[in-house]
Amino acid sequence: MLVGLLLAAAAWVRDDDGTDVAADLATELVPADLAPVASEEGSSSTWFCAGGTAAAGGAADHVVTVTNTAGSTVAGTIQVFPVRAEPLAPVPIEVPAASSTSVRIGDLVAAEYAAAQVEVQEGPVVVHHEVTGPGSTDIARCATRASATWYLPWGQTTLGSTLRLALFNPFPGDAVVDVTFDTEDGFRRPEAYQAMLVRSRQLVVLNVEEVVTRRQRVSAQVVARSGRLVVDRVQTVTAGEATAVEVGGGAPGAADAWYFPEGRVDPSAVEAFYVYNPSDRAADVELTVLTGSNDPATQPEPFQIRLAPGAASELVLNREPRIAQPLVHATSVQASSDVPIVVERLLASGPFSAVVAPDLAPASASTYPAGIDASLGSPLLATSWVTGPVPRAGAGALSVVSVLNPGGSGDVEVRVTGLDGAPVGEPTVLGAGQRAEVQVSGASLVEADGPVVAGQLWVFPEPASFATEPAVAWREEASVAEPVTSFAGGPVGGGAPTAPTAAPTESTVAPTETTTSPTG
């Protein structure tokens, strides 16, 4: 069903040493500070995959996949870190030219949870990890840099849900961290999660629902007083007798602009955005749904959001009368003030729609398989991207690459090839605010003659589920995205938001604007 709705096959349808680092949101950032980036041939690289289980029958069976984009074999090692235990010795791995190699962590160790570190001395590689539970599979990029700060805008601890934060310290020195949360009914600072010690070269997994109980939205912040680490979220959600698992890396920094090159609003699935302001100043935010149309009448008016310091807010597009359904689109979320933000998008279908938005009854037929998926937007632009492989658990999976031209450099020509250089479809030209997508059979390369954003959708047949994730930009071709003033269909902009409130309020988004504030 998804292929018919979205595309015709193969055609466009258009310093990691643990040194202390101050968490200063005002510092000028480089791409590697905000998202995983790949290094070109001849460079060494290290990738960190924090979240997943490694025991028989685990809720998130952990598999790490290394993709080699070079024309020759790449050698490296994978080292496993069981939860609260000493790491195993590194295991050699080889990845043949223009291919991917997967390692199931449970084949190397039996542990409730286990992290992995992949090191490659020379060769351009990209590393993803997947988790599979009884009812679903999810896939995410591994991290290329540890950080003193991590932000996770979405999580859930409702009845039947589990929320774990995997804190992975791969370095010789200890880290000391504070973990706080913002929820729909206020700010939480659990005493047990303050000044927490994460020992050197160890993995610690936090059971969040023990300290933040039965909350529809749980936004998390991890800040290191000393040291650096890597943070993943492992989430399960239950709807009736079905359970979905989701893995996602935190954002190591806040940014002024976040882009989602693919999206779909229709009665069969919920699409929600979670916007988080980790700073100590109020943030003004503008969320624009990009239809790619040159007719302003068909372009929904942007949503204006004001966030108090430390607050997060939810915007469910299905609830908004200005969004005509069904709508295939891209999304831009920009800080219209000088306060950076973090943005995550949640898709839920089938019975899981009601878990995320209880007031929205799902349609009987669904665009996506029943499930749930959360992914950060891309804070980066690049002229060259690498997309992810078909996961080990995804034999027969559908994989779709989406590309967005966010504007600022005029029309952009985009080409997609396999790792072997074979073209996938024909080149396409995208105007500002326009997107296109193409079906691929595995990891692929996206090349453009101007800055674009690339992302990916997977649909798995067994277990029936789906996943989305930004592609990985080449470090040398990437830049930090900046807010733009116009897209196809005219300039962005809307009414002025109101001032932030000081009283405890539930985070909601009105059709035109919103104000949210943490309490505590």
| 405 alpha carbon, distance to own chain's centre | 19
The pLDDT score that the predictor gives to residue 200 is 98
Q: How far is CA 373 from CA 80, 157, 309, 357, 442, in A?
A: 26, 15, 27, 14, 20
Q: How far is CA 470 from CA 43, 66, 142, in A?
A: 22, 16, 12
In the structure, what pLDDT confidence band is assigned to residue 518 with cuts at 50, 70 and 90? very low
In the structure, what pLDDT confidence band is assigned to residue 101 with cuts at 50, 70 and 90? very high
- Mean pLDDT of the 39-45 span: 84
Peptide bond before residue 461 is cis, with ω within 30 degrees of 0: no
Pairwise CA distance, residues 312 & 482, whole Å: 21
- Mean pLDDT of the 185-197 span: 97
Tokens of 170: 């791969």
Q: Is the pLDDT of residue 312 over 50?
A: yes
Within 10 angstroms of residue 358's Cβ, the number of other Cβ atoms is 10
**More confidently predicted of 336 and 519:** 336
**More confidently predicted of 122 and 498:** 122
**Straight-line distance from the first to the last Cα atom of the chain, in angstroms, rounded to the nearest whole number:** 47
Cite the beta strand spans of 478-519 per DSSP E.
Answer: 478-480, 486-487, 490-491, 513-516
In the structure, what pLDDT confidence band is assigned to residue 28 with cuts at 50, 70 and 90? confident
In the structure, what pLDDT confidence band is assigned to residue 360 with cuts at 50, 70 and 90? confident
Element (H, E) at 356: helix 352-356
The pLDDT score that the predictor gives to residue 27 is 58
Q: Is the pLDDT of residue 11 over 80?
A: no
Mean of pLDDT over the chain = 88
The pLDDT score that the predictor gives to residue 254 is 98
In the structure, what pLDDT confidence band is assigned to residue 512 with cuts at 50, 70 and 90? very low
- Annotate 361-410 with three-state secondary structure: CCCCCCCCCCEEEEEECECEEEEEEECCCCCCCCCCCEEEEEEEECCCCC
Q: What is the pLDDT of residues 239-272, one digit of tens each?
A: 999 999 999 999 999 999 999 999 999 888 899 9
Name the phi and psi angles at 312, rounded to 5. -125, 160
Q: 11-20, 58-67, 259-268 — which is least confidently predicted? A: 11-20
Please report, rounded to a whole number, the percentage of residues in the chain having pLDDT higher than 70: 86
The pLDDT score that the predictor gives to residue 407 is 86
The pLDDT score that the predictor gives to residue 492 is 40
DSSP state of 341: B
Whether residue 393 contacts residue 137, with contact meaning beta carbons closer than 8 Å, is answered with: yes
Tokens of 343: 């943005």
Task: Scan for tokens 């700073």, then name that residue.
Answer: 279
**More confidently predicted of 515 and 49:** 49
- Mean pLDDT of the 60-84 span: 97
Q: Is the pLDDT of residue 3 over 60?
A: no
The pLDDT score that the predictor gives to residue 61 is 97
Pairwise CA distance, residues 71 & 279, whole Å: 44
The pLDDT score that the predictor gives to residue 358 is 87
Whether residue 370 contacts residue 298, with contact meaning beta carbons closer than 8 Å, is answered with: no
Q: What is the pLDDT of residues 478-493, one digit of tens each?
A: 999 998 866 654 444 3
Pairwise CA distance, residues 473 & 256, whole Å: 18
Q: 40-44, 188-192, 343-347 — which is least confidently predicted? A: 40-44
Cα atoms in the 13 Å half-sphere on the side-chain side of 347: 27
In the structure, what pLDDT confidence band is assigned to residue 394 with cuts at 50, 70 and 90? low
C-alpha torsion angle, residues 183, 189, 81, 459 (rounded to 10): 0
The pLDDT score that the predictor gives to residue 493 is 35
Pairing of strands 486-487, 91-95: unpaired
Within 10 angstroms of residue 503's Cβ, the number of other Cβ atoms is 6
In the structure, what pLDDT confidence band is assigned to residue 364 with cuts at 50, 70 and 90? low
Whether residue 299 contacts residue 293, with contact meaning beta carbons closer than 8 Å, is answered with: yes
Q: How far is CA 475 from CA 30, 33, 38, 124, in A?
A: 10, 11, 6, 11
